[in-house]
Structure 1
Amino acid sequence: MSLWTAADAAAATRGRAQGDWVARGVSIDTRTIQPGDLFVALQAARDGHDFVAQALEKGAAAALVSRIPEGVSPSAPLLIVDDVLSGLEALGRAGRARVTGRVLAITGSVGKTSTKDMAVAALSAQGRVHAAEASLNNHWGVPLTLARMPAHTDYAVLEIGMNHPGEIEPLARMARPHVAMITTVAAVHLEAFDDVAGIAREKAAIFAGLEPMGAAILPEDLDVTPILREGADQVGAIVLGFGEAGAARPLKVSVDGDGTHLTARILGDTVQADLASAGEHFAMNAVGVLAALQKLGADLKASARGLGRWRPYQGRGAVEHVGGITLLDDSYNANPTSLAAGLATMERLGPGRRVVILGDMLELGPDEIQLHRQIADWPVMQDVALVHACGPRMRHMFDALPANKQGIWAETADTLCARAGELARDGDIVFVKGSKFSRVASVVDALRKSGQTPTPERGEE
């Protein structure tokens, strides 16, 4: 399948194409590049121009560059532009412009990727679906996703993220969604914002990219919901709230070891859906997805059935059995909102002693110590029997726990990995959560490998 011809790519980027090549895909990584891909020589931690020769050796159709790299033939198949990132953005805008299908864009402080994947699963039997891979949601991930989008796409599902003010609107304008959804707004990235209201205003900027008569799907039950509604109203969007008080709302949610079972009311229609992962927060996001897909023009009942095909990525709330323990792996990332949701899910996983393993939460701003310390006082922690933790921030939470709940504290996750056999015993329900850079995900791997579930010894490292 042809994705980009040399002539089309040159016209889209206003670049100069060498050779009459045809690209079947777009790649930024020589480790995963496939024959026929257009290699984009982005400059990030390293300059992608240093890898152009390798990409061509691996069968790349051509490379998008701002100069002919050293060691590459002047006659090599290239697309030469003034700036590689700007060239990728132009390619993304052109990819979006040629698609006549419907586009959904999703943002939010928590749950962007899982919600995006729910939407893809729900649409999978209703047409040709194109979506962002993994968490490609930043200033190069969004244009890359658009540049990879086939012209015959029926439905596109995009994820838009941010770390600082001003990032979402240009990406939303590039994506030009027909429907834009905000999963929730929470105290995330507070190092870059004054307060949660500032985060809400940034999230609401996604509505600035909506196509005319586009729909804004937003959480109805938040303190900052009026800010989100204001952002939608400013662009004349059709607004649909989801939540307990929303036009799209859950009627019944039950969670068990097999997953989450949902009955929902979506603009007057009642549907049922079964999710393969446990968690009431997943159910609420599913309600938002169903509302968004109805506004996108998809069949509501088919979407509800399709949700049963969704499976969370590793580290994003999957439940598995490891030896004699039940493991709730939510280790991909963390903030107070997602941590509270994960702890609530753990309570629903049947009988068994509750053991929690926590790593530091990052990017919480000047109140990060207090936010960690407060975890020990959360009501949901009362039913937790034992807590292990790693990192200097989580030390404040650990020290505030009653002595009988204190398991092992360690400076780094490596120490917990080395003592994996001491962390849980047969019959335990174990929940693991922490920010990516805490490396607490490595503790999950260590638990899987240990195969040992003896009674833990309390203490600290």
Structure 2
Amino acid sequence: MSALWTSSAIAHAVHGKASGDFTVSGVAFDSREIGPGDLFFALKGEQSDGHIYVKDIYKAGGVAAVVSQPVDGPHILVADTTKALNDLAVASRARTKAKIIGVTGSVGKTGTKEALFAALNRASLGKAHRSVKSYNNHVGVPLSLSRMPADSHYGIFEMGMNHEGELAELTRLVRPDVAIVTAIAPAHIGYFSGVEAIAKAKAEIFQGLTKDGVAIIPFDSPQYSLLREAALHCGSQVVSFGFGEQADVRAVDVVPAPGGGSLVTAKIGGILGESSLCFTVAEPGKHWVSNALAILAAVRAVGGDLAAAGLALAELKGLEGRGKRHRIELKNGGKALLIDESYNANPVSMRATLAQLANERCEGQKIVVLGAMGELGDKAEHYHRALADDIIASGAQTIILVGDEMAYTSARLAELASEKLDRIPEITHVAGSSDSDISTILAGVAEVFGGDDILLVKGSNYLGLARVVSALVSGEY
């Protein structure tokens, strides 16, 4: 394992005192993720104190810990471990010559970040770095920066927020050369006055852009003008992407690809120069074509290889909880398709996913397990009732709804079904996601699951619908 940081470099960056000489090859703040060669930050939170686990990290192969109280074992002693993590992130950003890309948006952040990484890592022969999982908050972002090797050519960092001011803080840490806003949607709208306020909060990412930085924004968004003005106010260059004729990076032709996904012809213009590219997006859905256009814009903006980006998009596989597809071997000997979207849900992502389900060819029936959409505040009833139209349009024949707010969806579905459909779909509403509720969901699926069926599982992460996916994939249902 190559050295990521030396003890002297860490101590200098975090204004601490090293207990001795050592080198580390990784950084973590979760003791359960510690591996050989890692540096552990013993963070203190409202509910926990990382110092409790310092002994455990040495047993797991951790080299040293950053602590605010003396411990037995190699360590860096600091006054505040959370500040030290931020300080190490700042030092990491200062030492790199990599082109840095920041990614935010109401939907599509993680998928876009992963696809960008695949494209740039391919072209740079392993010299790209990105934040893992959804490490996009006030501790995840500095951790991801601290993990970036000094010789990286590219760094891709996801940044999230659910309150005003949070992105401003994160982007000044990352200092991206390119900042992407994937889309604006009423995610976390319970914390904002409306979608325009969400757009303003997302636009904070432009505040950290480096000199001559590039802002990549969705042309087809109703908030396009707001985002553009915010970027220009920060002195950024602006590149738009989308399907409209005036977009700088636009899809001029989109047709279904033979193996699934989309075959796209895109034109690139504006400050990026004139060119075109025909490529395949492995992931299905119009929303993924939109993500792909943003990815092409970013790759071009940092001087990357567009051909490599096209190949990466063609090979992209769905992420766990975000579109991964499982071919399930059923107990009756048949096979069915499970689409795992269990990690997150908001009104826009729900609509996009259900629209894609409507386009799926299915010899059997379509089954949906849909969880409530969180953080919608006083708009919860409106958005959950509106979801019923998208469910009906998807062609789902068996509908299992999970979470209290889904009572609004269930009631509206019953109204619509009686008005529009000859056959009333099977509708089940489960109020919560306890063990017994999960068992009820699995029993409901097992009762109707047959060969050539398609099952979509989607909901906010707090509901734990990943347990449904895990049980179905493992056959334990």
Q: Which category describes the TM-score, using the shorter chain as reference length? A: over 0.9
Deviations 1:133-159 (A, max 9, x none): 111110011110111111100011110
Please, which of 314, 323, 331 is the counterpart of residue 317 of structure 1? 323
Which consecutive residues of structure 1, in runs of 5 or more, have no partner in the other structure?
453-461
For 1:122, the equivalent position in structure 2 comes to 119
For 2:446, the equivalent position in structure 1 comes to 421
Which consecutive residues of structure 2, in runs of 5 or more, have no partner in the other structure?
330-334, 419-423
2:362 matched to 1:351?
yes
1:379 CA displacement: 7.9
Please, which of 365, 386, 409 is the counterpart of residue 397 of structure 1? 409
Q: After TM superposition, list the pairs within 5 Å mapping 1:99-248 onto structure 2.
A: 99-127=96-124, 128-245=127-244, 246-248=247-249
Task: Tell me how far apart the structure 1 counterparts of residues 147 and 476 of structure 2 sit (CA, whole Å).
Answer: 42
2:415 matched to 1:409?
no
For 1:40, the equivalent position in structure 2 comes to 41
For 1:330, the equivalent position in structure 2 comes to 341
1:450 CA displacement: 4.3
Amino acid at match of 2:112: T
For 1:370, the equivalent position in structure 2 comes to 382
- For the 8 Å contact 1:388–1:423, the answer to whether it is kept is no
- For the 8 Å contact 1:30–1:54, the answer to whether it is kept is yes
For 1:82, the equivalent position in structure 2 comes to 79
Structure 1 window deviating more from structure 2 (127-136 vs 408-417): it is 408-417
Q: Any idea what SS the aligned residue of 1:321 has?
A: strand
Please, which of 417, 422, 438 is the counterpart of residue 463 of structure 2? 438
Please, which of 275, 280, 291 is the counterpart of residue 285 of structure 1? 291
Q: Alpha carbons of 1:151 and 1:43: their partners in 2 closer, same or farther (altered >3 Å)?
A: same
Q: Any idea what SS the aligned residue of 1:319 has?
A: strand
Q: Any idea what SS the aligned residue of 1:125 has?
A: helix
Amino acid at match of 1:83: D
Seq. identity, %: 38
Structure 1 window deviating more from structure 2 (232-241 vs 308-317): it is 308-317
Count of aligned positions: 447
For 2:396, the equivalent position in structure 1 comes to 384
Q: Any idea what SS the aligned residue of 2:301 has?
A: helix
Structure 1 window deviating more from structure 2 (314-323 vs 183-192): it is 314-323
Q: Any idea what SS the aligned residue of 1:35 has?
A: coil
Amino acid at match of 2:342: S
- For the 8 Å contact 1:421–1:447, the answer to whether it is kept is no
Q: Any idea what SS the aligned residue of 2:383 has?
A: helix
Q: After TM superposition, list the pairs within 5 Å mapping 1:3-82 onto structure 2.
A: 3-44=4-45, 45-68=47-70, 72-73=71-72, 76-82=73-79
TM-score under structure 2 length normalisation: 0.90
- For the 8 Å contact 2:355–2:393, the answer to whether it is kept is no
Task: Tell me how far apart the structure 1 counterparts of residues 114 and 20 of structure 2 sit (CA, whole Å).
Answer: 38
1:374 CA displacement: 1.5
- For the 8 Å contact 1:177–1:209, the answer to whether it is kept is yes
TM-score under structure 1 length normalisation: 0.93
1:383 CA displacement: 2.9
Q: Any idea what SS the aligned residue of 2:142 has?
A: helix
Amino acid at match of 1:47: D
Amino acid at match of 1:84: T
Q: Alpha carbons of 1:380 and 1:28: their partners in 2 closer, same or farther (altered >3 Å)?
A: same
- For the 8 Å contact 2:326–2:473, the answer to whether it is kept is no
Deviations 1:241-262 (A, max 9, x none): 0011211111222346633332
Q: Alpha carbons of 1:50 and 1:39: their partners in 2 closer, same or farther (altered >3 Å)?
A: same
1:418 CA displacement: 3.6
Structure 1 window deviating more from structure 2 (21-30 vs 127-136): it is 21-30
CA RMSD of aligned residues (A): 1.8
Q: Alpha carbons of 1:194 and 1:423: their partners in 2 closer, same or farther (altered >3 Å)?
A: farther
Deviations 1:295-354 (A, max 9, x none): 011122222222223222112112332233222221111001000110111122213332
Amino acid at match of 1:304: G
Task: Tell me how far apart the structure 2 counterparts of residues 41 and 451 of structure 1 sit (CA, whole Å).
Answer: 37
Task: Tell me how far apart the structure 2 counterparts of residues 422 and 273 of structure 1 sit (CA, whole Å).
Answer: 41
Amino acid at match of 2:378: P
1:449 CA displacement: 4.0
Deviations 1:86-123 (A, max 9, x none): 10000001001100111111000001000000101111
Task: Tell me how far apart the structure 2 counterparts of residues 293 and 176 of structure 1 sit (CA, whole Å).
Answer: 17
Structure 1 window deviating more from structure 2 (292-301 vs 332-341): it is 292-301
